[in-house]
Structure 1
Amino acid sequence: MRSFRYHRATDPADAVRLVAGQPDAAYLGGGTNLVDLMKLSVQRPRLLVDVTRLALGSVEPLPDGGLRIGATVRNSDLAAHPTVRRDFPLLSRALLAAASGQLRNMATVGGNLLQRTRCVYFQDVGKPCNKRVPGDGCSALDGQNRDLAIFGWSPSCVATHPSDMAVALAALDARVEVLEPDGAREIPLTEFHRLPGDRPDQETTMAPGGLITGVRVPALPYSRRSTYRKARDRASFAFAAGSIAVALDLDGALVRDVRIAFGAVAHRPWRARLAEAALRGRPATVESFTLAAEEELTEARPLRHNGFKVELVRNLTVRTLADLVEAAAR
């Protein structure tokens, strides 16, 4: 055990001041990811700033019919929230697909968005990893990369983002509220996480020391016709091999609008904008769904061990859209 200092923040500004002034500081929420990384010596903070007692634990309606979700809301509470279950079922299902009940009871919304990759080389301090030590190299590029990226990777990093919740929020055009040393701002969820480029250690677009204070989910007229599907190696308590969040708006037999995001295939939740554009105004048929998936997959660059993810993404897209169409017809 390495010694560290502990401070319980009294307000968000207090927390940001402490972390921004200490390069080796970290925020402590539920600790479900950070504590594991500390045990592995992947992260070695000298100061932990506990933010769990801040007044950021509520889910509030917005005037437009959307929701503001505080950063310290527990994942299990958000999944069970009546408004989330009714109006944003893809978000509830994504949360329930993650981890275990015990972990969901501890994990927070802010921490979920900031959890770090489960790439085995990142978690092994004996192996080179650019995300852990910039300039060290990427062991996964030519190593064991079955579970890693097919979209948006670079020679510096082929890791994936592990969050299920973030995939649903990407499909919903959510915005992340952050408090930074220079003040507060909102960042679109689809721009919050970075692609790796040549600096995979820089995982978000927040300024150093920034703190997530909440997430805003705008109203979406057709969000009730939405779902989340996760493919994994076992039925529970496993990270995704691939996942999809979909919200579908139908005009008779045509797709009027659609939102699609993929998980476990890129360094950030992957918003499938090519597939969305290919579907708008098209018949809501398996043929259209297949063509849309193929359009998105023109961006895919599978690695040596994860070519199966191309077919997996195609099948998830077709099956999930078809299921939503079938449910709408009942």
Structure 2
Amino acid sequence: METRALGKHGPLLPALGLGCMGMSDFYGPRDEAESLATLNHALDRGVTHLDTADMYGYGDNERLLAKLLATRRAEVFLATKFGFIRDRADPGKRVVSGHPDYVRAACDASLQRLGVEVIDLYYAHRIDASIPVEETVGAMAGLVQAGKVRHLGLSEAGETSLRRAHAVHPIAAVQSEYSLWSRDVEARVLGTCRELGVAFVPYSPLGRGFLTGQFKSIEDFAPDDQRRTQPRFQGENFARNLALVARIQAMAARKGCTASQLALAWVLAQGDFILPIPGTRRIRNFDENLGALDVTLTPTDLAEIEQVFPASAVAGSRYPEQMMRLLDTAK
């Protein structure tokens, strides 16, 4: 298993981790037995970096992982997040809190749901614009001092927030969406991570599954799948983006790999400080993703990908307007 360092002072982790969100929320019906089988299979294959958050399934994703951790905690590098407050009565509503009291309470609640004594990597899920980021990270640093957390991270943080946070306490990782069709972090965030020695953890490195080529229309998604509400999956945007994926599929066929593996290999090739966390609840998809580690992209390959799938050609924003306003990445 190829390994990469989590920042300057963190451990070596497998080059690919596993995002667990879709096992409990947002992407259609759940199957706990299938998800647990995939989690155990991931550990058996050496993929020990598991990523969750307190908001996934209103805490149910952490409870799912607790069933794995009860017997295999020593094998897992566990990452979770705080910051989003969801309302069951209004599932689409999102409130972000980075207030110190909330940071401490959220951590204790996650520890209880997960059934563990310490979280390996604790992220602020979004930057709370209502208070200085130094206050949020100061409270997170207190969790490290208390022995409840080992490393700190930020999710969807921009360059300015990252620098300010890093001055308070070393930030081990920044997690943001990054793939062939979500590349805004290339402008400033990736360079800042490289400069500061911060790992970058891309979520949705397969474009929420779109880059796999398995989806041909909006009807391929379950009625409660959140992708139905996202601009890139709607109307003309869907068709335009599908044409881009067809180009990647053709190139993958020539390389002797799948579109998923080519897309993941591209993300991995952007720097050795990058540790993607593709998500799936199915063993067959997990094994396909892991095959990306065997795909070598030459400079010629990378240039061709840039030509056939330029960032400027992607149609639609990655979130609805309300969620886009919560992103700090471009700041």
Answer 1 or 2: which has greater strand percent.
1
* Structure ranking higher on relative contact order (CA contacts 8 Å, 6+ apart): 2
Answer 1 or 2: which has greater helix percent.
2
TM-score by length of 1: 0.26
